[in-house]
């Protein structure tokens, strides 16, 4: 155990977050997301929700404040302006936890998959809410 570090952050996830550099991205994904087939490192967190992992990650990782979209979610197919329950929750967590709060931006489904395929890693959770996926861009500690 470590002080002031959420125990939900596994050793593998902590190592991954520490290894990431400025501008690298991490996906925190729901149970339906094709995490393993993205071709990037997939860390399993089946017993956790995306919201729990998001809050824990943001407690140790800064969001990039040099880009307009450091937090991206998948748009609802056929209704890109809709805000699913999970996405509203993510925005609240970012507002409360991030060192550089940002407005969550949406990406079309297949653009989200393409972006996820270039991420440093995917954290696959047991999240069951639809559209419970978010990509975070790592910032700098100054």
**Would you name the residues annotated as active-site residues?**
22
Instruction: State how beta strands 41-45 and 134-137 pair.
Output: unpaired
Its sign, for the CA torsion 135, 48, 41, 11, is positive
Please answer whether residues 100 and 65 qualify as being in contact, where contact means their C-beta atoms are separated by less than 8 angstroms: yes
SS3 45: strand
């Amino acid at each position: 155990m470590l002080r002031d570090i959420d125990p939900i952050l596994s050793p593998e996830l902590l190592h991954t977050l520490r290894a990431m550099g400025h501008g690298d991205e991490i996906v925190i994904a729901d149970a339906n997301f094709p995490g393993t087939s993205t071709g990037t490192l997939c860390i399993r967190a089946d017993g956790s929700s995306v919201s729990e992992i998001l809050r824990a990650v943001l407690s140790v990782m800064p969001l990039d404040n040099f880009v307009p979209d450091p937090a991206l979610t998948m748009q609802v197919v056929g209704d890109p302006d809709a805000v699913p329950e999970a996405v509203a929750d993510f925005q609240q967590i970012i507002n409360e936890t991030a060192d550089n709060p940002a407005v969550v931006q949406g990406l079309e489904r297949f653009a989200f998959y393409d972006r996820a395929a270039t991420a440093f890693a995917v954290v696959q959770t047991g999240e069951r809410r639809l559209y419970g996926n978010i990509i975070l861009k790592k910032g700098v500690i100054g």
